[in-house]
Structure 1
Amino acid sequence: MLNAPLPLGATIGMLGDGQLGRMLSLAASRLGFKTAVFGPEDGAPAAQVSASAIVASYDDEDALRRFAASCDVITLEFENIPAATLEFLTGLGKVVAPGAHALRITQDRVLEKTFAREQGVATVDFRAVDTLDDLKAALAALGTPSLLKTRRDGYDGKGQVWIRDASEAEAAFNAVGGKPSILEAKASFTREISVVAARGWNGEMRAFPIGENHHVNGILSTTLAPAPVSDDVTKAAHDIARRVLQGLDYIGVLAVELFVLDGDVLVLNEIAPRVHNSGHWTQEGCVCDQFEQHIRAVTGWPLGDPSARCTVEMTNLLGDDILDWPRLAAEPQAQLHVYGKAEPRPGRKMGHINRIKS
């Protein structure tokens, strides 16, 4: 762990080179830090705005040693970094936040939901699925419709398929590549919300106001925050985030995605061990946004004020949406954020826009 806050001019290592790393690097620069990025893509979004970058695979130990030598602390911008990479860097004596333990749990949907229940956090009913026979047994137990997801690596609707009748079991198992999976019971929810929260080295925790999320084809489309939810829902969501942060011994920002059932009952959907798409609204909406908060947490600085300054609707810009940038940039009471990706492919996150509502 860090024994003292990092001084101005220190270097933060960033595992991952995408748009989240880009926005983390910009926040770090604003606070007087440098960032060194490590990732597999040449000219990636984070590398474009960082002091240095190493392009290599996450299992390249020689490259990781070079990277580690330049860093005062190391963090990550997305959860699909191999936990073994974090363990290797820790073995070199580097401070890594969040740590490999938290990553191992949140990378695996079965371990994640099991962990949540151990912390007293409700989840949808689920079964682990390793074989087609497992899937058939799980369908018999949970019924249909139910959702089959790969245990690892899926995001934005990838690696998952709805099963609406038990006869679809084999086709569904083939659709996820026969990989180790999880079958989840359908949640009859009234809305989807998320809470983004941070924990520092001294155990201090701060949570942002709740965001209400709307997805299209499995990809987040919009987030409205602060969401019009009751004080009881806010309190319960923040309590869930606290349990998750403490249970994982987590350092940095994470997001907890929740279903709201009838009666304002909250059920955990997923944990994202990183800054999160549903927290982008904080850039214009909060005194301290999620990216600065993460930098503050991992460097041992005091956590910032997460209170809302205004209501914001964040809209993702996917694929060719970004080509409408002249009109978007001219919108009053709106801020356009562009990720620096060269090719707008269907479903690819190219940027987002934060529209101030009040």
Structure 2
Amino acid sequence: MSEDAILPGATLGVMGGGQLGRMFVHAAQRMGYFTAVLDPDAASPAGLVSHRHVHADYLDDRGLAELAQCSAAITTEFENVPAPALARLGELRPVSPGAAAVAIAQDRLLEKAHFVRCGVPCAPHAAIETQEQLRAVDASLLPGVLKTARLGYDGKGQVRVQNREELAAAWQGLNGVACVLEKLMPLAAECSVIVARGRDGAMVNLPPQLNLHRGGILAVTEVHPDNLPASRGALAVESTRAIAQGLDYVGVLCVEFFLLADGSLVVNEMAPRPHNSGHYSMDACDVSQFELQVRTLAGLPLVQPRQHSPAVMLNLLGDLWFAQGDAEVAPPWDRLLALPGVHLHLYGKQSARPGRKMGHVNLTGPSVRAVRKTALEAASLLGIEAF
């Protein structure tokens, strides 16, 4: 434990009031901390449950000063919090992750350069920031995926292109902003690893997570010893630790990977925060990703999490509220909660809309077979496509 550890009874601040902030606040409060949230939305999920809600924009000087004044240390719950705001807060209070690491995660070009420096393989790619770079793209990168360098998440700012004509049209459609073109690779699976690193360099990790995305949004995560080949899972953990170490990172970091058809592993992207794919840890591990976030922020000891149950996580998008038509109707929670090993987490959002993350369901049980069986029953009840 750090000599300047922040002990329960202090106030921990968080930039951002979404569901990740809400779950951080719950974890901090359970451990005896007070909490403060800065978010411009008066009805933000985290702001509604925090001891204090600083209702301000992320670059508002008065709001930042208020958050710093009432908080012993500050974290962030999403990667698009302006890095300058974190830098400003960092002059006044311990901030983790720091502005420099968040700035790299906010820019795909900087991110990929960091992966390369750490010796972690990426998919073949090229920067496209000018017409000259567009014309010079190597033909071997097509077909590919054109992604905006900044402000892309959950499949936003991404266009699949088959040839140069589609590439040029896609770049124009993205308003000619800085982009990266990635070669389309033959995928066998997608996976992720979450690590937590303290100010003293201590690092622990959650088990590798097997992920299924639909429409660019995470739909299902499965975590158990047989979800990935052991050697690939170990490599993903080793690579994630190297990426965190190279950033001198403090906090919780998620790194996503592609497992290719030939068995090789390439890194996709990183998120400087807890991640949807780690939500299962709330019910299947003795230390969740959100408790790890509290521990890294407060300088408390990091202990290696132990997964005590096989787990499946189902993401609950707002589409499920409109399964019967245009009217918003809540899913059948009573029938869902009649199933064994179901843990329902709703985020307190006041209205549903298609694509909006409304909550998640964790399923745990005595065996992989039992958990998958119940998860498929739950998916059927909720109107989620089988997996």
TM-score interval for Structure 1 and Structure 2 normalised by the shorter chain: over 0.9
Give 1:199's match in structure 2, choosing from 197, 200, 203: 197
Q: How far is the alpha carbon of 1:3 from its aligned partner?
A: 4.2
Corresponding residue for residue 346 of structure 2: 338
Aligned counterparts of 1:294 and 1:96: Cα–Cα separation in 2: 12
C-alpha change, 1:204 and 1:135, in structure 2 (3 Å) is: same
Retained in 1: the 8 A contact 2:141–2:184?
A: no
| 2:298 counterpart letter in structure 1 | T
Q: 2:222 aligns to what SS in structure 1?
A: strand
Q: 1:264 aligns to what SS in structure 2?
A: coil
| 1:292 counterpart letter in structure 2 | E
Retained in 2: the 8 A contact 1:136–1:169?
A: no
Q: How far is the alpha carbon of 1:263 from its aligned partner?
A: 4.6
Q: How far is the alpha carbon of 1:135 from its aligned partner?
A: 2.5
Q: How far is the alpha carbon of 1:133 from its aligned partner?
A: 4.0
Retained in 1: the 8 A contact 2:141–2:181?
A: no
Retained in 2: the 8 A contact 1:149–1:176?
A: no
Gaps of 5+ in 2: 322-329, 368-387
What fraction of aligned residue pairs are identical, expressed as a percent?
43
| 2:179 counterpart letter in structure 1 | S
Q: 1:46 aligns to what SS in structure 2?
A: helix
1:168-211 deviation per Cα after TM superposition (whole angstroms, max 9, x unaligned):
12321133232111111112221111001110111111111111
Q: 2:5 aligns to what SS in structure 1?
A: coil
Corresponding residue for residue 248 of structure 2: 249
Equivalent positions of 1:231-250 (< 5 A) are 231-250=230-249
Greater Cα shift, 7-16 or 222-231? 222-231
C-alpha change, 1:14 and 1:168, in structure 2 (3 Å) is: same
Corresponding residue for residue 206 of structure 2: 208
Aligned counterparts of 1:5 and 1:99: Cα–Cα separation in 2: 17
Aligned counterparts of 1:153 and 1:165: Cα–Cα separation in 2: 25
Q: 1:59 aligns to what SS in structure 2?
A: coil
Give the CA RMSD over aligned residues: 1.6
Aligned counterparts of 1:263 and 1:273: Cα–Cα separation in 2: 29
Equivalent positions of 1:169-318 (< 5 A) are 169-226=167-224, 228-318=227-317
Q: 2:6 aligns to what SS in structure 1?
A: coil
Q: 2:291 aligns to what SS in structure 1?
A: helix
Give TM-score, length-normalised by structure 1. 0.96
Greater Cα shift, 112-121 or 303-312? 303-312
Q: 1:234 aligns to what SS in structure 2?
A: helix
Equivalent positions of 1:11-90 (< 5 A) are 11-90=11-90
Corresponding residue for residue 329 of structure 1: 337
Aligned counterparts of 1:354 and 1:306: Cα–Cα separation in 2: 17
Q: How many residues were matched structurally?
A: 356
Give TM-score, length-normalised by structure 2. 0.89
Aligned counterparts of 1:101 and 1:17: Cα–Cα separation in 2: 22
Aligned counterparts of 1:175 and 1:216: Cα–Cα separation in 2: 23
C-alpha change, 1:312 and 1:306, in structure 2 (3 Å) is: same
Gaps of 5+ in 1: none
| 2:354 counterpart letter in structure 1 | P
Q: How far is the alpha carbon of 1:218 from its aligned partner?
A: 0.6
Corresponding residue for residue 363 of structure 2: 355
Q: How far is the alpha carbon of 1:327 from its aligned partner?
A: 2.8
| 1:77 counterpart letter in structure 2 | E
Q: How far is the alpha carbon of 1:153 from its aligned partner?
A: 0.7
Q: How far is the alpha carbon of 1:4 from its aligned partner?
A: 1.9
Q: How far is the alpha carbon of 1:49 from its aligned partner?
A: 1.2
Q: Which runs of 4+ in 1 moved over 3 A?
A: 140-143
Corresponding residue for residue 381 of structure 2: none
